[in-house]
Amino acid sequence: MAGGLTLTGVEQTFDADEIIVSKTDTSGRITYANDVFLRISGYGEDELLDQPHSMIRHPDMPRAVFKLLWDRIASGQEIFAFVVNRCENGDHYWVLAHVTPDFDEAGRIVGYHSSRRLPKRPALAAVTPLYAQMLTLETGQADPVAGMAASTALLERTIRESGCESYDRFIFSLGL
């Protein structure tokens, strides 16, 4: 149960040529959601707009990945990440997210843009057990800060052991 919503265990999917698009302000509140996002998530536009993007966060998604994502985009960089999201009815869907900051004319970050496409199954087969291990570390300790640190350390160790020098290279090595 997450946020009062029973999880169904049913995976939703979308076509490989479709892209889920959303935009948020700098605090993560949704300012735009395309039709694919509305259809897959099951939410109406009026239910999503001005709501925190975290409303679709699936409880199986490690917080350490979101911290990395937010740290990266808040510093003005882009990021690619595999993410599992929750639908309004409790189903879920996997995406390969490409999140970028939006800048104004003065170079200040004014929001974020996320384009999400269907990930390849072999990549998900590689990332799913890693995310499960990370989540176990995050939830298995009484101290949430220690859990996040342990989860982050596992991710960093996995990246190093894969021979990749960065998170992005690791994600790309899984075969987008």
Q: What is the DSSP string of 20-75?
A: EEEEE-TTSBEEEE-HHHHHHH---HHHHTTSBGGGGB-TTS-HHHHHHHHHHHHT
Q: What is the pLDDT of residues 35-69, one digit of tens each?
A: 999 999 999 999 999 999 999 999 999 999 999 99
Q: What is the pLDDT of residues 129-169, one digit of tens each?
A: 999 999 999 999 889 999 999 999 999 999 999 999 989 89
Task: Give the C-alpha separation, 71 to 86, whole Å.
Answer: 22
**pTM (2 d.p.):** 0.91
Confidence of residue 175 (pLDDT cuts 50, 70, 90): confident
**pLDDT of the residue at 4:** 55
Task: Answer for the pair 84, 94: CB distance below 8 angstroms, yes or no.
Answer: yes
Task: Give the C-alpha separation, 37 to 136, whole Å.
Answer: 29
Q: What is the pLDDT of residues 1-29, one digit of tens each?
A: 344 578 999 999 999 999 999 999 999 99
Query: What domains sit in the chain, N to C, each tagged with a CATH number?
Result: 20-173 (3.30.450.20)
